[in-house]
Structure 1
Amino acid sequence: MENDATIIQGAGQGLGLALATHILKHQDDSVVVATCREPEKSSGLRKLKQKYTSRLITQKLDVSDEKSIALASTKLSLQIEHVSLLVNSSGILHDDSIYPEKRLADVSASNLARSYEINAIGPILVLKYFRSLIQREKKSVIVNMSARVASIEDNSLGGWYSYRSSKASLNQITKTIAIEFARQLPKSICIAFHPGSVNTRLSKPFQKAIPKEKLFAPDYAAAKMVAVIDNLTTTDNGSFLAWDGSNIPW
């Protein structure tokens, strides 16, 4: 059984995969648990497993299925004693049936429900079931992947109703969990995090509007994220932080 481990929920591709790669490469004693819906289909995870063998644990976890989350937690409780870092990386902005709304008339109940299911409900259920893997006497960092467009105060453009509101919900969840964990787990730090605009499938349809210097490669974004995480203290608990460590208004 591993003493401490990093769990990355949503590590099959994109920033989650880049984060797993960065930690395994730069932290020699690290053990990373990479979860996603179908880990056996992730070529990136297969390559990491071949290279890092026992330091990488892959686990099936469908963030839209509570039973899958609960089962993953049960299985991992037999393999690790403490989660030193937990990252909720999965998110949905668009897919074959969902696209960000430009106006109120574009909003549908099904798109709203799907966005909340992945962007807000899934992460809180992950923390519900994985809470038992965080030891009171040890430091633990929880990072919920948010977005600057989730900021209510910073919203000057409108649109993107489902994505904005579901990520804003995640921010409220993060803040509330931070308060609860501060009482139960005094060495825990729970933050919402904006990684910047990252060159992944999520941002592909919108990259033409992003200046080249502001579109980050996944490995660069992962390195910046780890740098912020490494400098966190308990005074940062309950914060909404950007990739450069700056605070974002709620």
Structure 2
Amino acid sequence: MSESNALVVGASQGIGLGFVHHLLQKPQITKIYATYRSPASAAGLLTLAEQEPRIHCLSVDITQEEQIAQCCEQIQMESTYLHWVINCVGILHEGELAPEKGLRQLNAEKLTRYFQVNSIGAALLAKHLLPLLKHRDRSTFATISAKIGSIGDNRLGGWYGYRASKAALNMFMRTAAIEYRRRSPHTIIVTLHPGTTDTKLSEPFQRSVPPEKLFSIDRTVTQLLTVLDSLDIDNSGQFFSWDGTPLPW
């Protein structure tokens, strides 16, 4: 495979923008499609795209299936195939949305928001990306999950919406991997735990994190790309930590 194309979903900042920077260092990647939801929060990405002709920015709200479908159709008109897809969209806090400490804080509307962003969007991506990933070369579809979404590893409780939506994400991707094995047998689908990374998502919760366990964006992306490069088709449908360790469901 001499040339390849990549899609980074949720590339406006944080880990997503970090992936764009790192993929630019791979000379075999000819186009990097990068999605953002709001221009106001994507200044860094849009500026980078002005300087780097390989980056093609697309406005996509992952909670809107029509926008996902239009994005995939546009890519297909330009590039036919994708070889890398990395979905970095996720929500932990937003306005009044915050991790719940107990059952009394549960709210149906807020729980729905967690699932829309953290779970359902990725499943809809898997639906619409299939034609772009279905080819004879190796392709990888990775989604950022979280260890806190592991049911087997849950020993502290709390954070109901975030935990449950990440657990649902893992199930969606596991199930999609089984179907892709039949319909797109060269595609590896995995979910990844990035570790606690110094981003806006983790910022309110960093006080209790030891300095050695708070990763820079550059370190996180480097580690995750190392994991992705090490995978083969037998790893499709699995859940990995930043160091390549398989995680329990």
Same fold by TM-score, threshold 0.5 exceeded? yes
Aligned AA (2:131): S
Determine the structure 1 residue equivalent to 2:218: 219
Determine the structure 2 residue equivalent to 1:238: 237
**Cα 1:138/1:40, change in 2 over 3 Å:** farther
Check if 1:15 corresponds to 2:39: no
Check if 1:44 corresponds to 2:41: no
Instruction: Flag as ranges the 4+ runs of structure 1 deviating above 2 A.
Output: 38-41
Q: Are the counterparts in 1 of residues 87 and 143 from structure 2 also a CA contact under 8 Å?
A: yes
Map 1:96-245; keep pairs closer than 5 Å: 96-245=95-244
Q: Are the counterparts in 1 of residues 4 and 28 from structure 2 also a CA contact under 8 Å?
A: no
Aligned AA (1:85): W
Shift of 1:219: 1.2
**Deviations 1:167-222 (CA, angstroms, capped at 9, x unpaired):** 00000011101111111111111111001101111001100011111111111111
Q: Are the counterparts in 2 of residues 87 and 144 from structure 1 also a CA contact under 8 Å?
A: yes
Shift of 1:95: 0.7
Q: Are the counterparts in 2 of residues 13 and 42 from structure 1 also a CA contact under 8 Å?
A: yes
**Deviations 1:46-101 (CA, angstroms, capped at 9, x unpaired):** 23213321x11111111111111111111111111211111111000101120000
Q: Are the counterparts in 2 of residues 61 and 69 from structure 1 also a CA contact under 8 Å?
A: yes
Mapped partners of 2:220, 2:113: distance in 1? 26
Q: Are the counterparts in 2 of residues 146 and 170 from structure 1 also a CA contact under 8 Å?
A: yes
Partner SS for 2:244 = coil
Aligned sequence identity (%):
36
Q: Are the counterparts in 1 of residues 130 and 184 from structure 2 also a CA contact under 8 Å?
A: no
Mapped partners of 1:170, 1:141: distance in 2? 17
Partner SS for 2:81 = strand
Mapped partners of 1:162, 1:78: distance in 2? 37
Q: Are the counterparts in 1 of residues 10 and 35 from structure 2 also a CA contact under 8 Å?
A: yes
Aligned AA (1:216): F
Shift of 1:164: 0.2
Mapped partners of 2:59, 2:138: distance in 1? 26
Shift of 1:42: 1.4
**Cα 1:169/1:186, change in 2 over 3 Å:** same
**Cα 1:40/1:106, change in 2 over 3 Å:** closer
Which sections of structure 2, spanning at least 5 residues, go unmatched? none
Shift of 1:39: 4.6
Q: Are the counterparts in 1 of residues 85 and 140 from structure 2 also a CA contact under 8 Å?
A: yes
Aligned AA (1:154): D
- What TM-score does the superposition give when structure 2 sets the normalisation length? 0.95
Determine the structure 1 residue equivalent to 2:91: 92
Aligned AA (1:136): H
Q: Are the counterparts in 1 of residues 91 and 118 from structure 2 also a CA contact under 8 Å?
A: yes
> How many residues were matched structurally?
246
What is the RMSD computed on CA atoms of the aligned residues?
1.2
Partner SS for 1:83 = coil
